[in-house]
């Protein structure tokens, strides 16, 4: 179906000049093999005959021109079109390869590690700077409350909070079922399945409710912050805001951070309650503790400070998630791939920091006697 | 569609209807583009110039009508179906639409890699390199990323990619919009030179009256959901459609016209000397 370009090499009978004749179409779709074959030719020749070339485009003209040039051959028999195209491509300089000395594998590895360390340090400084700018913005908003964006805040609260009730509820219900089910199974070995209530109630309010919520919010909202702000950065919307005198910090970052800090405690508490309901539900079937008995036992066995532990951690996690999302969004530069990288970065950082801080909180609260 | 007709008219649009929900953009639109011409498409904002181009290149499924490109029906083909015309056209989108994660050179190599994997790496790089220079970019632009280029350079890089396969058809969507007058004139000259050297048929959407006067062989006017007139500018001026009159005889139209006359005059005197 495809006609390939070919070549023949012969000695001209009239004057004995060695001639290389190209045949067939010299088009971008026909020269792939020809180019490779020509590379192999070791014979020298002084003429490049294009008489039998049926069709030519710039790529074909380039191959002919470059090949003639390399061998110091003269092009003969070119049609008008071929001559015009060859003239057009002959103006073009061949690009020089400026391959510098490539570092070896070890060097590249050390270099990569160095780059990452530097990027990490620079990132740390930048995040501290970002937090500082956020605090300054909050301060100036407190002094000029009229500039506060109430509508944006409510909108973000809806996106972060209200819209995620269903998924967080479902997740927490299932987590509650798993804890109670596994707890009852294992505690039954000690004849202590009644302690399932303590286990479910305390772990939900203290740790899991808030932790699972943080992970869900980081995945849902943290990523959305990074992607939204990153895209706005690419389309120069952020620059446009600055020129109009709107601070992106006040308009975009503050509402998101405040909304996340307000919604996290509510969502975390909600998640804990739903998890307890999940636990009560499965216990009614598995270990014959009636549903409402389970719930009233919770009040007796879960100390109040367990709830406070959860509620104190929640806004901190909200802050981390929102700052990670907004900061990474603001760092987007250049291209669409960067938006993806930064979004991933936002979620990974947020979840990682949440878990690290959770460990600190756990130790801290046991030390202060809220164990 | 006969072979001879597709030879003469690489693009034939018949009875095209495009609509977005209740909003009808084109109705019963007909257009024939001749081989080897630069056809300019003009029309007010929102008359569907870009939609027409998108229909012709198969990105927008029309509600009714048929579009033949190089003798193949675009409208009957499935989206993304390989019907053998994609390697024969090149498209320059308004913003360049370069792949942002690749350098300019890699962008130009994409169509080559897609259609002709048998090309050796070296040859492909050389082709990309001369296409970039053919489009009027400096040699070092080849290793730059689109985010490092100015608007005009992005357009040129987009043009280099559109020309990668030596297409028969070139679609340009507002190539000179956002360029400075010198850059725009240079782009016009480049388009004309490419058309003459490579024998391209160019479908050009523009608002730039200078471009119309300078390089377009014919102009198609979009209004009232149709192509209301196609012809050379003097032919269009002879019609009495109010929009056409206002377009070409408005202050900007007159300015472009007088520039054109002046340069033509200079050309003539130059020829006289020779």
At B270, the pLDDT band (50, 70, 90 cuts) reads very low
Mean pLDDT for the stretch of residues A14-33? 80
pLDDT score recorded for residue B145: 87
Each residue's pLDDT tens digit, A194-217: 899 999 999 999 999 999 999 999
Find the DSSP H helices in chain A: 32-40, 58-71, 80-90, 105-143, 150-160, 165-188, 196-203, 209-217, 223-234, 237-244, 248, 254-286, 291-301, 304-330, 336-367
Chain A residues in contact with B115 by the CB 8 A cut-off are 29
- How far is it, in rounded angstroms, from Cα B30 to Cα A320? 59
Chain A residues in contact with B102 by the CB 8 A cut-off are none
Q: What percent of chain A is modeled with pLDDT above 90?
A: 55
* B46 or A92, higher pLDDT: B46
Tell me if A57 and B127 make a contact (CB, 8 A cut-off).
Answer: no
Mean pLDDT for the stretch of residues B188-207? 85
pLDDT score recorded for residue A65: 84
Which two structure tokens, joined as six digits, stand for A67? 């090949």
Chain A residues in contact with B165 by the CB 8 A cut-off are 28
Average pLDDT, chain B: 82
Highest mean pLDDT among A142-146, A340-344, B252-256: A340-344
Tell me if A32 and B147 make a contact (CB, 8 A cut-off).
Answer: no
Tell me if A337 and B101 make a contact (CB, 8 A cut-off).
Answer: yes
Tell me if A32 and B199 make a contact (CB, 8 A cut-off).
Answer: no
Given a cut of 90, is residue A360 above it in pLDDT? yes
Best to test chain B binding among A59, A90, A231, A336 (most B CBs inside 10 Å): A59
At A371, the pLDDT band (50, 70, 90 cuts) reads confident
Rounded to two decimals, what is the model's pTM? 0.68
Q: Which of B131, B179, B127 is nearest to B153 (CA)?
A: B179
Each residue's pLDDT tens digit, B133-154: 888 888 888 888 888 888 888 8
pLDDT score recorded for residue A215: 95
Chain B residues in contact with A85 by the CB 8 A cut-off are 197-198
Of B119, B134, B139, the CB nearest to A95: B139
DSSP state of A53: E
DSSP A87-109: HHHHTSPPPPP---PPP-HHHHH
Best to test chain A binding among B130, B151, B162, B193 (most A CBs inside 10 Å): B130
Query: What does each C-alpha distance from A197 to A213, A268, A282, A283 come to in angstroms?
Result: 21, 19, 11, 9
pLDDT score recorded for residue A100: 55
Q: Pick the residue from chain B with its C-alpha nearest to A58.
A: B166
DSSP chain B: --HHHHHH-SEEEEEEEEEETTEEEEEEEEEEE-TT-EEEEEE-TTS-HHHHHHHHTTSS--SEEEEEETTEESSSSPTT---S-GGGEEEE-TT----TTS-HHHHHHHHHHHH-TTS-HHHHHHHHHHHHHHTT--GGGGG--GGGS-HHHHHHHHHHHHTTT--SEEEEESTTTT--HHHHHHHHHHHHHHHHHH--EEEEE---HHHHHHH-SEEEEEETTEEEEEE-HHHHHHS--HHHHHHHHSHHHHHHHHHHHHHHHHHHHHHHH-
Calculate how close chain B gets to A36, using CA atoms only, in Å: 7
Tell me if A32 and B116 make a contact (CB, 8 A cut-off).
Answer: yes
Calculate how close chain A gets to B256, using CA atoms only, in Å: 30
At A95, the pLDDT band (50, 70, 90 cuts) reads low
Tell me if B118 and A88 make a contact (CB, 8 A cut-off).
Answer: no
User: How big is the A-B interface in CB pairs under 8 Å?
Assistant: 73
Give this complex's ipTM: 0.70
At B81, the pLDDT band (50, 70, 90 cuts) reads low
Tell me if A92 and B119 make a contact (CB, 8 A cut-off).
Answer: no
pLDDT score recorded for residue B274: 38
Average pLDDT, chain A: 88
Calculate how close chain B gets to A226, using CA atoms only, in Å: 19
At A266, the pLDDT band (50, 70, 90 cuts) reads very high
Of B101, B139, B165, the CB nearest to A93: B139
At B272, the pLDDT band (50, 70, 90 cuts) reads very low
Calculate how close chain A gets to B201, using CA atoms only, in Å: 15
- How far is it, in rounded angstroms, from Cα B137 to Cα B104? 10
Query: Is the CB of residue A86 less than 8 Å away from at least one CB of chain B?
Result: no
Of B87, B118, B166, the CB nearest to A58: B166
Of A35, A36, A334, the CB nearest to B145: A334
Measure CA A326 to chain center: 13
Each residue's pLDDT tens digit, B215-235: 888 889 888 888 888 888 888
Which two structure tokens, joined as six digits, stand for A61? 């003209």
Cβ atoms of residues A270 and A212 within 8 Å? no
Q: What percent of chain B is modeled with pLDDT above 90?
A: 0
Q: Which of A133-137, B52-56, B264-268 has the lowest mean pLDDT?
A: B264-268
């Amino acid at each position: 179906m495809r006609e390939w370009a070919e070549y023949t090499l012969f000695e001209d009978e009239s004057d004995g000049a060695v001639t290389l004749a190209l045949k067939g179409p010299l088009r971008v779709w026909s020269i792939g093999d020809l180019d490779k074959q020509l590379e192999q030719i070791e014979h020298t020749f002084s003429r490049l005959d294009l008489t039998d070339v049926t069709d030519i485009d710039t790529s074909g003209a380039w191959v002919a021109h470059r090949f003639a040039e390399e061998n110091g051959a003269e092009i003969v028999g070119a049609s008008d079109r071929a001559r015009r195209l060859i003239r057009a491509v002959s103006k073009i300089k061949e690009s020089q390869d400026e391959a510098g000395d490539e570092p070896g594998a070890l060097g590249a590895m050390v270099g990569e590690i160095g780059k990452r360390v530097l990027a990490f340090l620079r990132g740390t400084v930048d995040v501290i700077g970002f937090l500082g700018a956020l605090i300054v913005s909050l301060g100036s908003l407190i002094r000029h409350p009229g500039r506060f964006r109430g509508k944006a805040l409510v909108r973000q609260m809806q996106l972060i909070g209200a819209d995620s009730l269903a998924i967080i509820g479902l997740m927490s219900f299932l987590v509650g079922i798993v804890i109670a089910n596994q707890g009852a199974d294992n505690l039954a070995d000690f004849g202590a399945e009644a302690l399932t209530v303590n286990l479910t109630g305390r772990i939900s309010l203290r740790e899991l409710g808030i932790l699972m919520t943080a992970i869900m919010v980081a995945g849902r909202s943290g990523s959305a912050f990074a992607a939204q702000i990153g895209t706005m950065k690419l389309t120069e919307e952020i620059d446009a805001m600055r020129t109009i005198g709107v601070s992106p910090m006040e308009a975009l970052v503050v509402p998101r951070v405040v909304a996340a800090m307000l919604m996290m405690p509510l969502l975390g508490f909600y998640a804990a309650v739903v998890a307890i309901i999940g636990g009560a539900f499965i216990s009614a079937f598995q270990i014959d503790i009636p549903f409402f008995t389970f719930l009233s036992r919770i009040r007796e066995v879960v100390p109040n400070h367990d709830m406070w532990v959860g509620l104190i951690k929640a806004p901190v996690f909200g802050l981390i998630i929102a700052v990670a999302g907004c900061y990474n969004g603001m760092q987007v530069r250049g291209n669409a791939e960067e938006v993806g990288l930064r979004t991933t970065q936002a979620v990974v950082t947020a979840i990682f920091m949440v878990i690290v801080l959770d460990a600190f909180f756990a130790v801290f609260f046991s030390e202060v006697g809220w164990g | 569609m006969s072979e001879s007709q597709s030879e003469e008219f690489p693009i034939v649009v018949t009875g095209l209807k495009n609509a977005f929900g209740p909003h009808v953009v084109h109705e019963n639109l007909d257009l024939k583009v001749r081989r080897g011409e630069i056809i300019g498409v003009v029309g007010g904002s929102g008359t569907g110039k870009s939609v027409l181009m998108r229909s012709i290149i198969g990105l927008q499924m029309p509600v009714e009508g048929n579009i033949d490109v190089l003798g193949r029906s675009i409208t009957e083909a499935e989206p993304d179906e390989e019907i053998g015309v994609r390697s024969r056209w090149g498209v320059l989108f308004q913003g360049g639409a370069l792949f942002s994660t690749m350098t300019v050179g890699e962008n130009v190599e994409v169509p080559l890699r897609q259609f002709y994997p048998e090309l050796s790496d070296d040859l492909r790089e050389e082709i990309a390199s001369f296409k970039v220079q053919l489009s009027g970019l400096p040699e070092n632009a080849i290793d730059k990323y689109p985010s490092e280029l100015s608007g005009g350079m992005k357009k040129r890089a987009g043009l280099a990619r559109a020309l990668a396969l030596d297409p028969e058809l070139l679609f340009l969507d507002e190539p000179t919009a956002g360029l400075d007058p010198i850059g725009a004139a240079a782009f016009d000259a480049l388009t004309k030179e490419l058309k003459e050297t490579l024998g391209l048929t160019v479908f050009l959407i523009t608002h730039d009256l200078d471009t119309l006067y300078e390089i377009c062989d014919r102009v198609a006017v979009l209004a009232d959901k149709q192509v209301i007139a196609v012809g050379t500018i003097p032919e269009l001026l002879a019609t009495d459609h109010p929009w056409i009159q206002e377009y070409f005889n408005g202050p900007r139209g007159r300015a472009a016209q007088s520039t054109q006359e002046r340069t033509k005059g200079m050309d003539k005197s130059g020829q006289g000397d020779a």
